[in-house]
Amino acid sequence: MGFLFKKEYRLGLMLVLVFGLFLFYADQTSEQIITYFSNTIFHYEKPAFLKLVYLVLLIVTIAMLATLNRSEISTVEEKKEAFNSFVISSVSAFFPGWIVHLYFVIQTVETRASFMQLEDQFWIYHCADLTMVIGFAFAGFLKLRPAIHK
């Protein structure tokens, strides 16, 4: 586990930590944004974000970093660039889905439509999580895999 304290991985790991704290409070942040834009006090009844998925992705990220660190194919600088690029790509994938989620929730609140119907549309209600998982997979395949298996 000493690789977690290596200087070349600090930026990526700090971004993972900060983003993890953001995800921990994503429900409250979303509620505040929805309340602001809809001028209606809003609270989620059913969780909108799959927090267990975030823990799984964190564990997989640490495992991928361990594999990258053991790889003797890439230089230290290539490993650093690959990991940082992977983390930035994975984190960036969350935000387009979050915007789609917020848009549909705000529209549902403003039009006073059925919120249960929105919750049943898994692809829209959990869009932020889905885009993050897809972005994570693509980033791992396009950024980390070449650094591990040249």
Overall residue count recorded for the chain in this entry: 150
33-46, pLDDT tens digit by residue? 999 999 999 999 88
What's the pLDDT band for 6 if we cut at 50, 70, 90? confident
Cβ-proximal residues to 25 (8 Å cutoff; 6+ apart), any chain: none
Q: What is the reported pLDDT for 81? A: 94
Check: CB of residue 94 under 8 Å from CB of residue 130: no
Encode 123-140: b = buried (16+ Cβ within 10 Å), e = exposed.
ebbbbbbbbbbebbeebb
56-115, pLDDT tens digit by residue? 999 999 999 999 999 888 899 999 999 999 999 999 999 999 999 999 999 999 999 988
